[in-house]
Every structure is written in C-alpha cells, then in structure tokens.
Structure 1
C-alpha cells in the first residue's frame, strides 16, 4: 500500500481531484487546509498579514496569522494499493495540469507498512 499526498496551492480544485481519485479507485480521500511557509512569508512581506503587536507565544502568533489570511491550499491524502498510484497521479494532473510545472502542486508517494481501517467505504 501507498500513501499519496498532494499539496495544491489553490483550494478550488480539491473536491474535483477527490472525486477523480474516487473514480480511480481510492476508497477514502482526506482534504485538509494547508498553508505553506513560503506563501505566508510572501504575504507578510507584501503587508497583507501583520503579526500581533504583543506576542504571548509563537503558537498564538501563528494562530493569529492563520486566522487573518484567506484559505489558500489543501493537503490531500489517500491510502491506496500500489497498482492504483499511477491512476491517482493521472487523475490529479487531469484537474490541475502537469505537476512538474511551477505552482500546480506537489505530489509524493510514501510506502505504508501497515494500515488499519482502510477500505471500509466503497468508492
């Protein structure tokens, strides 16, 4: 089994990708909000985000920054059989375009040694 992780910079495509992954055989897809540090730094440099004047802790400061910015990206995850990986990559690229191009997203695949509770849902 493999864990496929896809980070996309814009959230508009995530539902479409998730549905394409289901059609390609993924029984479960998880979508999480994500914020890349590079993007946060660019927004701070452009003056779109300010750190609070009094910082009690870095965790509080980061929570403040994340609340101020609009939702940008998503992290998508799915655990699939080895023979489904290429189909999910193709499905993602059919929505966002070539992942080798800048700003289309980042996808990587990790081996899963053991998974419990996978496959309870049918695609």
Structure 2
C-alpha cells in the first residue's frame, strides 16, 4: 500500500483533480486546506489584523488563498502511476513551478480502511 499526498497549488483545479482521481480508480480522497511557508511570507495568508471574531467575508477570502492537500491510500505501484498521470493531465508537469507537489510513501500498516471496497479485493479473503 502507498499513501499519496498531493499539495495542489491552484485550488480552482480541485474538482477536476478529484474527478480524474476517481476515474483512475481511487475510492477515498481526503481534502484539507493548507499553505506553505513561502505563501505565508509573501501573501500574508495568516493576517495579524483580523478581528477577534472575523466576518464571514474575512474567512472566505482567507480560505480562497489556501492550497488544497489531497491524500489517499492506494494498493500498488500501478495505481500510483495512474494517479500521477491523471494528476498531470490536469495540472501539467509536476516538475514545473506552481503545479503542485506530489509525494508517495509506503504504508506498512493501516487501520480503518475497508480493504474490500478500496482495493476491489475478493470478499472471501
């Protein structure tokens, strides 16, 4: 099993990335708003001047400036390759600036996953 982590630089592409991941066979995807140090330093994402109780508009504006981090667990290298290819079909070459960062980590053990659903395993195993 592998954990795929993808930091999507352009949140406007989120729905498209989710769609191609599902078409590639990914069954479960978690999405979190995120930001990196450079964006914090250059775009003032975490402003000090927000009121103690910010307005809805303040919160929405802050949310719009954040990246999106997607993560999922896949069964094998074949699925990793499909997800990478699907991702690049939307964001372009991941080696270019401002496209995003995709990492793949081996998973030694995982709990709470429905293996039969996620990995299309035989229910008798």
In the superposition, the TM-score normalised over structure 2's length comes to 0.75
**1:100 and 2:71 equivalent?**
no
Any unmatched runs of 5+ in structure 1? 54-59, 61-65
Any unmatched runs of 5+ in structure 2? 53-57, 121-125
Q: CA RMSD in A?
A: 2.6
Q: Deviations over 1:13-56 (max 9, x none)?
A: 11211121111111101111011121010023xxx864249xxx
Q: Is the 8 A contact 1:14 1:31 kept in 2?
A: no
Q: Structure 1 segments of 4 or more deviating over 3 A?
A: 119-123
Q: Relative to structure 1, is the Cα distance of residues 21 and 38 closer, same or farther in structure 2, using a 3 angstrom cutoff?
A: same
Q: d(CA) in 2 for partners of 1:114 and 1:26?
A: 19
Q: Is the 8 A contact 1:28 1:121 kept in 2?
A: no
In the superposition, the TM-score normalised over structure 1's length comes to 0.76
1:2 equivalent in structure 2: 2
Q: Relative to structure 1, is the Cα distance of residues 85 and 49 closer, same or farther in structure 2, using a 3 angstrom cutoff?
A: closer
